[in-house]
Structure 1
Amino acid sequence: MAAYLSGLHHISLHVSNVNKIANDLVSKFKFSLFATRLTDRSRQLAFRKGAAVFVVNERPNQSGVILNEELPDITHRHSPDTRRLNVRKYEQGTAKCLYDISPSYSVDTVSNVCFEVEDVEKSFRDLRHLGCNFLVPPTTVEDEAGAVTYSVVQSVVGNVCHTLIDRTKYEGLFLPGFDVLEKDCNLEEDEDMSCPITHFDHITYACHRKTTLQVMRWYEQLFGFQRFFIDSEEDVDEGFVINQEGIGLRLTAMEYWKCSKAGIILPSVDKKGPDCKFVIAESLPEQGRNQVDTFLEQHRAPGIQHVGLYTENILSTAHAMAGAGVQFFSPPPAYYTEVGKQQEIEEAGHSPQMLAQYGILLDTDLHQGPLKTSCDNRRYLLQVFTKPIFAEDTFFLELIERRGAMGFGEGNIRALWRSVQAYMESERGDSQENENSKTVYIRAHETK
C-alpha cells in the first residue's frame, strides 16, 4: 500500500443551506457545534458526537469554483510540492475552504472522508507515483497551537475525495483556522447520555453497476483496505447478493486498519476490529429500479449514500431523536411477528413492541450458529435508517448498536432496503401526482 491510515478524522458535507443542516444536526441528531471557521463569503462548521465529527461546508453558488487555489503566503518546505501558510494571514479577504475542496455541485453532497496519516508528504509522493489525482498538494497550516499538514486526493468513486492529514504536531482541540467554541470545557463530560453515539461505524457508497471490483482494488492497493465478508458464504467476486422478491442489490464491504501495520483498537463494546468499514452498493437490473438508482439519478454521480453512527443504546438514541423530530424508516409491521423473528427478539432480551415503535430491526450474528441460552453470550445487532436529511433522496444516516456482531445485519437487509424502497416509490408517486395536478390546473386556465 502507498499510504498508512491511522484513523478517520472527519466527514465533510457541502450544502447550500448551512443553517438548516446545522440546526438539524444539533437539535435533531444531538451533535454539538464545537468549532467554526467563518469568513465574509463562506462558512465551515464542525459538529461532534463522541468521536464522530461532521464538517459542514457552505456550497458556493457560482459553478466551477474550486477552493484552495492560489493560496497566499506560500513558502516551500521540504519539497517544491509543499505549501505553508499562516492562518491569520490566510483568513484575510478569502473565502477559501480549508482541508477540502468545494465541489461545483448543484445538489447537497457528502463528498470528503478525511483520514489521519503518518506522513502526508510521503503519502503524496507514493500515491502520485501510482497515478492518483491530487486536488490539493501537501499544504501546512499553522496557528499558535502548532502546525497541521494535509493534502486532498480524488477517489475513484464519483465526487468523493479524501483529505489526508497529519496533526501530530498540533496541540489544539481541532484544526488551525477554526475557532473552538468549547476551549474551557471537557468535551467528553459534556456528552448527552440520552443519545450515546460514540463514532462512525461504516460508510456506504452507491456506485454504478459492475464497478465494485474497481473500487475495491483502488482502496486495497493505495490504502491497504481488506475485504470484509458480509456473509460467510458470499462469493469473493460477487459479494453479498440479493436478487429476489423485488430487490436487486449487491453489497461488498471492506475495512481499513488503524496504523495498518499493527492492527487497530476500536472504541466499541469488544474493543477489537476495524474503526470504520466501507460498503459498496450497486443495483442489479433484474429486479427493476431501486434506491441505488435513485441516488445515482438525483446525486448525478456515485457517492456517499449513508453513514452509520454507532450508538451504545439504540433505544435511548432513537427515542431522543424521534422526540426531536427525526423520522425513521419502518419495516412492515409483520416483521416483528413473523415466524422466528419475535422469538429471536425476545431471546435477545428486547421487546418487539418497543423496537417496532421506532422501526428498529434486530439481527443475530449468523456466524455464531444457533442462538445461545444466555442473552449475555448472544451476538446480535440493532439498526434503523433515518429518512433523507437533504432535499433530494440521497444521503441519510443509520443508527447501529452492536452486541458482539461485526456484520451489517444480513438478515435485516431485505427489510431495511424494502422500507427505503417503499418510501421512495411513495415519494415518486406524490411527485407525479403533483405534476399531473399542475398540468390539469394549467390546461383548465388556458381554456378560460
Structure 2
Amino acid sequence: MKIDQIHFYVENASWWRNWFISQMGFEAVTSPYRDKHTLIEVVKSGEAEFLLYSPESEESPVAAYLKQHPPGVAEVTFEVSYLEETLAKMQGVTLLRPLQTIPTNSGHLKWCQILGVTGLIHTLVEREGVTPLLPWLPQWQWKTTAKGGLFFTGIDHVVLNVAKGALQSTVQWYEKIFGWQRKQAFTIQTPHSGLKSQVLVDSSGKVQFPINEPTSETSQIQEFINYNRGAGIQHIALQTPNITDVTLTLKQRGVSFLRVPDTYYTQLKERFPKLPFSTSEWEQVKEAQVLVDSEASALTTDFKKNPLLLQIFTQPIFQEPTFFFELIERRDRAQGFGEGNFRALFEAIEREQFSKNQQS
C-alpha cells in the first residue's frame, strides 16, 4: 500500500493551485477540470500529488463539506496491489462506492471508496498501465508519471487528530480494516498542553499514519478539533533531500514557519554534543530554525553516524489554525518522528496561540 493522492477541499482551487506553485514549488501537472458544480486542480512535487477541489455551485459536495468544516483534507487515496483481495478482508466497512473496474488500452483501474471511522474518505485504487487520474472522471486526464515540483520527493507521513478518548478506537479501526501495525507510541506533556500519539504503518512501511488525541482542553490538538469541528488531518510531512536550503528558499517565497527559540539550539547541543554538522551547516540549521533529533541505531555499523531526523513546521496555511505542513529530512535511515522535538513544537505552537489571543 502507498499514498496515491491527497484531496483538499478549499474555497478557491485556482487560487490554491497558484499558492502551491509560487510558495511551495509544486507544479500543475494537468489542465483543470470544471463542471457546473465543482472545479478540480492538480499539483505535484515528486510523489506528492494534491487534488484541490472548490465548489462552483451549492450542489457541489465541496460546498456541503465547507459548511461543516474549514478548508482541509477531505480524502486520502491509497494504491494497493490486489484490490479485490484487500477489500474481501475488510469486514464491516461502509462502502461509499462499490468495487468497479475501468479498462484502459494498456491495463486497468480498479477502485472503491470507503468511509473512515472519523468521516475521512478513503479511496482505494489498483493501477495497471496508464490509468485515469480520477476513477469517477475517466474522461478527464491520465495519471502522469511526471515528478513535477522543485523541492519535495514525496509524502513521509500523514497525521490524523481525533477527539479525547477516541485514539484507541480509531487505531483499532485502522488495524482491523487496513491491517496496519502499531509502530511507536508516546505521550507529550507541557505545563499548558499535551497529546497522546500512536503511529501506525502498513506492512510495506510506505504508509506512516500517526494518530493524536489531546490530553487537556488547552492542548493544541483540542484547538484543532474545535476549529475543524471534528477529527481530521492535522498535517502532512513532505520529504525533502535538503531541508535547510529548501526551508530558507520557501521563507524567501513567503511561507511562514513556526518560530523556534534560540534556547532550543543551546539545549540541543547539550542533548547531542557530537552532532555531525560542520560549522557552516550548524549555522544554516539555526538560521533556518530546523529541529534536529538523533537516534541511536543498531542498523548502522558506523556508530559515528547516528540516524538524524531534521524537521520544521509551517504555520497553518488556512485562515483557521488547523492544517499545516511539515518538512522532513531523514539521514542514515532515521525511522522515528522526532519525539524529542515534539515538546519544542508544542511550546512553539503554544506561543503562537498566546500571541494570537493577546492580539484578539
TM-score bucket of the superposed structures, by smaller chain: 0.7 to 0.9
- Report the alpha carbon displacement of residue 38 of structure 1 after superposing the two structures with TM: 2.5
Aligned to 1:162: 122
State yes or no: 1:281 paired with 2:240.
Answer: no
| Structure-to-structure mapping, 1:45-124, within 5 angstroms | 45-59=41-55, 62=58, 66=61, 105-124=68-87
Relative to structure 1, the CA distance from residue 37 to residue 19 in structure 2 (aligned partners, 3 Å threshold; closer, same or farther) is closer
State yes or no: 1:336 paired with 2:265.
Answer: yes
Work out whether residues 10 and 53 of structure 2, in 8 Å CA contact, stay in contact via their aligned partners in 1.
Answer: yes
Matching residue within 308, 314, 324 for 2:243: 314
Aligned to 1:246: 192
- Report the alpha carbon displacement of residue 115 of structure 1 after superposing the two structures with TM: 0.7
State yes or no: 1:153 paired with 2:114.
Answer: yes
Which amino acid in 1 is paired with 2:207?
C
If the length of structure 2 is used for normalisation, what is the TM-score?
Answer: 0.88
Aligned to 2:326: 398
Which amino acid in 2 is paired with 1:150?
W
Work out whether residues 313 and 325 of structure 2, in 8 Å CA contact, stay in contact via their aligned partners in 1.
Answer: yes
Gaps of at least 5 residues in structure 2 are none
Work out whether residues 365 and 409 of structure 1, in 8 Å CA contact, stay in contact via their aligned partners in 2.
Answer: no
Sequence identity percentage: 27
Relative to structure 1, the CA distance from residue 422 to residue 349 in structure 2 (aligned partners, 3 Å threshold; closer, same or farther) is same
Cα distance in 2, alignment partners of residues 278 and 396 from structure 1: 16
Work out whether residues 272 and 294 of structure 2, in 8 Å CA contact, stay in contact via their aligned partners in 1.
Answer: no
Decide which structure has greater strand share: 2
- SS across alignment from 1:413: helix
- Report the alpha carbon displacement of residue 162 of structure 1 after superposing the two structures with TM: 0.5
Aligned to 1:354: 284
If the length of structure 1 is used for normalisation, what is the TM-score?
Answer: 0.71
Cα distance in 2, alignment partners of residues 102 and 151 from structure 1: 20
- SS across alignment from 2:37: coil
- SS across alignment from 2:9: strand
User: What root-mean-square deviation, in Å, do the aligned CA atoms of Structure 1 and Structure 2 show?
Assistant: 2.8
Relative to structure 1, the CA distance from residue 149 to residue 105 in structure 2 (aligned partners, 3 Å threshold; closer, same or farther) is farther
Aligned to 1:177: 139
Which amino acid in 2 is paired with 1:166?
E
Which amino acid in 1 is paired with 2:308?
Y
Matching residue within 38, 41, 50 for 1:42: 38
Between Structure 1 and Structure 2, how many residues are aligned?
352
Cα deviation per residue 1:140-188 (whole Å; 9 max; x = unaligned)? 446666642321101112x3111011222x414845333369x8xx834
Aligned to 1:416: 345
Cα deviation per residue 1:255-309 (whole Å; 9 max; x = unaligned)? 013xxxxxx3xxxxxxxxx213111111112xx5021111111110101000000
Relative to structure 1, the CA distance from residue 379 to residue 409 in structure 2 (aligned partners, 3 Å threshold; closer, same or farther) is same
Cα distance in 1, alignment partners of residues 297 and 83 from structure 2: 39
- SS across alignment from 2:58: coil
Relative to structure 1, the CA distance from residue 171 to residue 140 in structure 2 (aligned partners, 3 Å threshold; closer, same or farther) is same
Cα deviation per residue 1:380-406 (whole Å; 9 max; x = unaligned)? 110000011111111000000001211
Cα deviation per residue 1:103-149 (whole Å; 9 max; x = unaligned)? 7534212021101123444544543xx22111222234466666423
Relative to structure 1, the CA distance from residue 280 to residue 144 in structure 2 (aligned partners, 3 Å threshold; closer, same or farther) is same
Cα distance in 1, alignment partners of residues 196 and 16 from structure 2: 31
Cα distance in 1, alignment partners of residues 65 and 51 from structure 2: 12
Cα distance in 2, alignment partners of residues 342 and 323 from structure 1: 31
Cα distance in 2, alignment partners of residues 137 and 429 from structure 1: 50
Cα distance in 1, alignment partners of residues 103 and 344 from structure 2: 49
Work out whether residues 50 and 191 of structure 1, in 8 Å CA contact, stay in contact via their aligned partners in 2.
Answer: yes
Aligned to 1:256: 202
Work out whether residues 193 and 220 of structure 2, in 8 Å CA contact, stay in contact via their aligned partners in 1.
Answer: no
Which amino acid in 2 is paired with 1:252?
Q
Larger Rg: 1
Which amino acid in 1 is paired with 2:354?
E
Cα distance in 1, alignment partners of residues 189 and 81 from structure 2: 42
- SS across alignment from 2:19: helix
Relative to structure 1, the CA distance from residue 163 to residue 344 in structure 2 (aligned partners, 3 Å threshold; closer, same or farther) is farther
Work out whether residues 253 and 280 of structure 1, in 8 Å CA contact, stay in contact via their aligned partners in 2.
Answer: yes
State yes or no: 1:12 paired with 2:7.
Answer: yes
Work out whether residues 132 and 141 of structure 2, in 8 Å CA contact, stay in contact via their aligned partners in 1.
Answer: no
- Report the alpha carbon displacement of residue 420 of structure 1 after superposing the two structures with TM: 1.6
Cα distance in 2, alignment partners of residues 333 and 365 from structure 1: 22
